[in-house]
Chain A
């Protein structure tokens, strides 16, 4: 596929003999665009085809995993974040979000919320204010699949971001360049697309932007209202003009699309500009409607190409949330306080990315400590008989005999991701031990299961 021209890569996926719409591709779509799906959803989407499946992911399901309607779910979870998160420690904030991800009727929305959290990486370790972090999280969720133009504008006024990048007291006499630098380098354009002078001038435009009592405030007396020249544009610009200037840069669409490529297609290889250009152009033509590149990528031939399957390493959050959702550990699910601690041991603490560049991702997720933590989490779940019974889940889907049970878990969790020898080993284990726990342990702790 890499040899094909970009237009072919991004053309609409039509199932055929070389790339049929099978269980592996349904599961692939859910792993990348959600957090792995339960058996009933895989079967439904297998039957209904790629277009209906993708549309449902874009729009969200009508009911959540806990049985509430999507609207009730949003109300409950927004309330939960406000009530419990207000004065909470980082672990509790993480737990609240993980809980939401496990039960959400709109997994793609949460994936994209997490994507923007990583893109506009802000850490509570410096912000030290749970309310501000929750407000920022709500901002990401509101615009996760919406308008990048609005999101870029709003994030510049977001108190958590301003605290994070030292812009809480951006005075005329001493402009702070941190936000101006990061918005160009990491949020909108990428390195090499701006000069130091552009940063200095943008910082002047941002003067007078303050955070007062946790709220964004503009103090006109502290704003430098002189003329500035930013990326070739000249005028008495304010902070609100900066996003407009950035979005006019040709590199802006390409920069965001490159990051989306890493999320949906592969975080192992670096795509060339030519490959990304059709998506970036469509993104700009759609006035930066985020749904456009997302839909284009998730419905493309490249997305369903054999070379794309299992070419991403699951992040700790994808790993644990996916496990809960696909194994239907929902009534009750695990304590998300504990799940948050487990994610931390695996190297990912939500609300605490390691730097403004976010998490490295990819192969950086895999090391000895992280793998041990992943294994321990899986073993802990399997041992928790009050929450998860591998036998009962398999029975629910008519897999009663050891061999059927092994097939069921292979299809649910890895599909065609195992080599024949490993499949044989799983089946032999099922027959030998007659213990469904052994089967699930073998799959969840396999290196192949760590791939999305």
Chain B
């Protein structure tokens, strides 16, 4: 690619890099110019906010802490691009940051349709300084002409159409200015259609579609919203069924866990998304409406009653991740014939054998699942690695599942405890066959609850220095009943912490699923295993040690930077919403 082409690309990237629209004195939305057949619509109402965030100390410090980025800014390619950007902005008598702000200050819109089967991409930027935009475009055109001359290609063409002036730079790039907006498209006819729509005063525009209007209103009401988008799923499915239709044959596990969500995604006519960012708070939401015909009765078993969704997450000390899910598996089991194919339903009967082995010949549905509530929680937390004896080479966090038990079924908790002992017995049989150390059973009382636990017997004789210590020494399987909850944990320390955490009353939320993750704790876990991870990276990627250290430290920094993350899924009468929030951490 020649220097001139780089310059052209650099300027185009301003447009393509963001979406579009409305100056303060120009109340017309980019959606008012967009085709009603628009499949994908993306709008950045205030690009300044996005530019501010990206150029903030928080993000820049993180970027410059990444070795790959540090390397990239040293490359010839970056230096050449940077030099050209400097040259271009120098000719415009401004800075790069100022150029971006002036060209996009009034907003950006990206709209994609495919009226004749070919993607038609249009970007509409509303410059805060139209004269500057014209000057930039003239420079762009000049650079494109020079580039074409130097490389023996046909020169770009200037075209005028119904008050708009544009340039066909190549077969894939058309730019123009129309009513003080910068337009960029991949097809000339795409921009011509847009101008015709506006000039003819057509009502057939995206903004007049009811669904779109509702989404726009909802997105605009979102605090600190930076960007939002709208996708016509039903049109996409018609356009390319192979790519955009979820296949009917799905894995039974996926149906079991996400049945109603998959159905919603299969049938929802549209999808809405927003992105908001203020200081350290970054959030994204995804909305899907309930399928037009609603959910089937069997799939309704996945939706919690209003206000009685997933329980509040458990957060014992050192929590890396915590999940809370509302799932009434007893009811799902009852409707399994409607949900799964015959083959899978038959294979589910194997669970009766499992239940017989661990729960005293109980039937899996009526004996096991019916005894459980819809409260399912998982916790992953750091261990006190310093106190692990022997200290395993790889330090793994503790994992625990917390199950809700129905109050009326006292016997079931006893069955679970017996099941735990059976599991330890079977594990010891396997250990004896494979010459592994056995698990030694024990109990411990914490806050009135008795934890049944087991730990691997250490070697009697100390192993010579440098002898690898097996990962199994991370594990001390434990089980405990706390009120009407039953905890199965991979470690005794996590079981202890959960006994205390569960003592607090359980508060139901409105959500079906809540996942929380703590980047700082994850980063700390990465650092704990750094030596090992660096070595693994060397072998797996062929890096020298410093490069591997750089990659692992970047991963650790990224985890720390992302701070606390929270993903929620909420289902209601009108639809389904997924929300992802981050509270970013400053880079140290």
Contacts and interface: CB of A to CB of B under 8 A. Distances in A.
Does B bind A?
Answer: yes
B545 A66 contact: yes
| Most B-side CB within 10 Å, residue of A85, A86, A333, A387 | A86
A435 to B, nearest CB: 18
Contacts of A336: 539, 542
Contact of B531 (A67, A83, A95, A334): A83
Interface string B521-549: 00000000001100110111111110100
Contacts of A334: 542
B542 A332 contact: yes
Given A83-B531, A86-B393, A337-B539, A330 B468 contact: no
Nearest to A81: B535
A99 B468 contact: no
Contact of A87 (B470, B535, B536, B539): B470
Given A86-B393, A332-B547, A80 B538 contact: yes
Contact of B468 (A66, A86, A213): A86
Given A80-B535, A331-B547, A332-B547, A87 B542 contact: no
Contact of A335 (B393, B466, B542, B545): B542
Interface residues of A, number: 28
B353 interface: no
A335 B540 contact: yes
Contacts of A86: 393, 467-468, 470
Nearest to A80: B535
Q: How large is the interface on B (under 10, 10 to 19, 20 to 34, 35 or more residues)?
A: 20 to 34
A84 B533 CA distance: 9
B457 to A, nearest CB: 14
Interface string A329-359: 0111111110000000000000000000000
B193 interface: no
Nearest to B543: A332
Contacts of A333: 542
Contacts of A82: 466, 468
Contacts of B535: 79-80, 83-84
A96 interface: yes
B471 interface: yes
Contact of B544 (A87, A131, A332, A335): A332
A330 B541 CA distance: 11
A84 B545 contact: no
Contact of A83 (B393, B461, B471): B393
A138 B117 CA distance: 65
A65 to B, nearest CB: 9
Interface string A61-86: 00000111000000010011011111
B531 A335 contact: no
Interface string A122-156: 00000000010000000000000000000000000
Contacts of B461: 213
Contacts of B542: 99, 332-336, 387
A103 interface: yes
A92 interface: yes
Interface in B537-563: 538-545, 547
B194 to A, nearest CB: 40
| Most A-side CB within 10 Å, residue of B461, B544, B547 | B544
A178 B256 CA distance: 57
A330 B543 CA distance: 8
A96 B539 contact: yes
B544 A330 contact: yes
B526 to A, nearest CB: 16
Contacts of A331: 544, 547
Nearest to B459: A213
B532 A84 contact: yes
B124 to A, nearest CB: 37
Contacts of A330: 544
A383 to B, nearest CB: 15
Contacts of B544: 66-67, 103, 330-332
Interface string A86-124: 110000100110010001000000000000000000000
Contacts of A80: 535, 538-539
Interface of A: 66-68, 76, 79-80, 82-87, 92, 95-96, 99, 103, 131, 213, 330-337, 387
Given A95-B539, A96-B539, A103-B544, 4 more contacts: A82-B468, A83-B532, A83-B535, A332-B543
8 contacts: A83-B393, A83-B468, A83-B532, A86-B393, A87-B471, A99-B538, A330-B544, A333-B542
Q: Which 6 A-B pairs have the closest CB atoms?
A: A86-B468, A333-B542, A66-B544, A332-B542, A332-B543, A334-B542
